Structure 1
């Protein structure tokens, strides 16, 4: 059996991590897949590990802009897959408009399917891009022999928007074991001071659906009430959202809000391990890898109650409405005031995080693809 993978639109981020890890941990021959052919640009292919069963294919169009990659996918890839005698094409990027009929697609981005979240963006070009993705991914999911989702939330939400077939599978991503750190013994809030504050961490790009400015407002309110707490914001930014955070920071008389900027991924594990607690205030996720990293790092977590966060974190979090500063403040206050509950919930979330491994993700993915490929 020969499996093709359309990675024509995978260049960086979570999509590239997913592709690297399922290949690195994969044993497709166990499931009857003798050869896997990946089509992508040179940089992506170089990032993929080598294997006896893996064949890497590039094309001049794939090393140009995204538009040229799209043209390659529509007009060229299907013929190449037929010449290679592919039994199935896997589309982890979510969009495939070629003529090859037997495909399995994957949903990794919720923004095309969440209109309210799209409307938070002020740039019309960004909103238009999400609308185009909604159109292309809807077509792809409808014509797929099966669809892989990362969470039940994503499957349920998207199936309300478009009519899907009966074949689907929930296969969550794995987690980098560099983040693995057993929960610390939790101290009462009186243990901390202005010179040694309780360090809250929020890792994520500063953007419209992450609501860092609301978190900052809540932390300033806690500082005003005498709580020895600091918030470290880590991640890249879009200009509008950075300005919102800076506007809040200008009112910070307690110097409790720190924006650290973008930190290399290889250094993030130590950032997690040096924190005392974590906060995640996103209102739109498909599968919140950052949240799972914090779970794996053994941190007590205060989390958004929207999207798939309760599905992933379960009973291991202090929940809030990310659009409501009062709600964030109350959740953080409960977390700070109750060290026993902090200890209990951090252990629950840590134990839940161990379920997310790349080996499990890889095995389940190749098994499912093999099962669909064998069907006539």
Structure 2
């Protein structure tokens, strides 16, 4: 089986991490899946990040290194011919392959393409148009696909309700987790053990967008301090949507102009984020749109107890091992944090349970399930 991986639309972030990790695991067990050749199609920038290996053929085209229009034109008019020369099956890593080559396996990665209520919050026609075009590309990809990979049951159910894809071969395959985030559960203390000089520090790691809700967390922390709770908040993550970044800035400026209890660190390199988890007393995760919440998984691995958004798929992964709130409701956030602070023994048990649960997630497992599924789809297609 000559397997092609279409990574032509990957820009970085979680997509490149996923690709690098499953390829690293595959090189050890490639014969197990009947793969005789593996070709990765992408820009030169992405290919340069992949480890050199004689098993992997890195392939690019001039259009993959140019602008969006040139890339899409090539994908529509010329890409199929190049795939047919080299491949027996294609894995669309971003689930947006728009050609006619078959068999194809697509992957669902981005729930922003489906959850239109967030489009209404964005209020930027250009941004909404981008989501709509990407949705149409995924719709076309999944319609032509022989198989589809989902990262969560929530994404699978949502996509099946929106698209007529129930007849397709489908499989839920979770992402793995880097061992750098593994931590130990610390003894959990009563809130009376803390003071405004030595506060209980919450950490929220996430990029800044309308569905991440950092400003609601800032307001909840401010309100709790006024009620006498010695809590602070550290924010880690760069701004990926300017209006959301501006709203966060204004909220911090209004409630904590001297930065006494809100520390906004902005973007921190991925390799340094685990250090922030180790410094935290508690973790907050307040997103209301995820496919598989990688940051929540990292939080679970850290051994630090969690207060979390009640929006799916967060409960699918965190289960009963967190204190939940409505991420759009400041009072709900406050109440969840108060309950969290009042139950040190319960949060310690939850953190211990999370360490057990997170052992089910590894990149080796992800790779084996992914390439096993691709092989299965290929044999069924034949």
Q: TM-score when scaled to structure 2?
A: 0.96
1:247 counterpart = 2:250: yes
In the alignment, what sits opposite 1:9? 9
Q: By how many angstroms is 1:207 displaced?
A: 0.9
**CA contact 1:223–1:256 (8 Å) conserved in 2:** no
- Number of matched residues? 375
Q: Which of 282, 303, 317 in structure 2 is aligned with 1:277?
A: 282
Greater CA deviation, 215-224 or 64-73? Answer: 64-73
**CA contact 1:295–1:350 (8 Å) conserved in 2:** yes
Regions of 4+ moved over 3 Å: none
In the alignment, what sits opposite 1:321? 326
The 3-state SS of whatever aligns with 1:209 is coil
Q: How does 1:54-203 map to 2 (within 5 A)?
A: 54-84=56-86, 86-164=87-165, 165-203=167-205
The 3-state SS of whatever aligns with 1:174 is coil
In the alignment, what sits opposite 1:23? 23
1:369 counterpart = 2:374: yes
Q: By how many angstroms is 1:184 displaced?
A: 1.2
**CA contact 1:8–1:70 (8 Å) conserved in 2:** no
Q: By how many angstroms is 1:333 displaced?
A: 0.7
Q: Distance in 2 between matches of 1:248 and 1:53?
A: 52
Q: By how many angstroms is 1:108 displaced?
A: 0.4
Greater CA deviation, 67-76 or 330-339? Answer: 67-76
The 3-state SS of whatever aligns with 2:76 is helix
**CA contact 2:145–2:168 (8 Å) conserved in 1:** no
Q: Distance in 2 between matches of 1:307 and 1:69?
A: 34
In the alignment, what sits opposite 2:363? 358
Q: Check 1:284–1:107 CA distance in 2 against 1; reply closer, same or farther (3 A cut).
A: same
Q: CA RMSD in A?
A: 1.3
Q: By how many angstroms is 1:69 displaced?
A: 2.1
Q: Which of 201, 204, 207 in structure 1 is aligned with 2:206?
A: 204
Structure 1 residue runs of 5 or longer lacking an equivalent are none
Q: Distance in 2 between matches of 1:372 and 1:175?
A: 26
In the alignment, what sits opposite 2:234? 232
Structure 2 residue runs of 5 or longer lacking an equivalent are none
In the alignment, what sits opposite 2:261? 256
**CA contact 2:252–2:262 (8 Å) conserved in 1:** yes
The 3-state SS of whatever aligns with 2:148 is strand
Q: By how many angstroms is 1:297 displaced?
A: 0.6
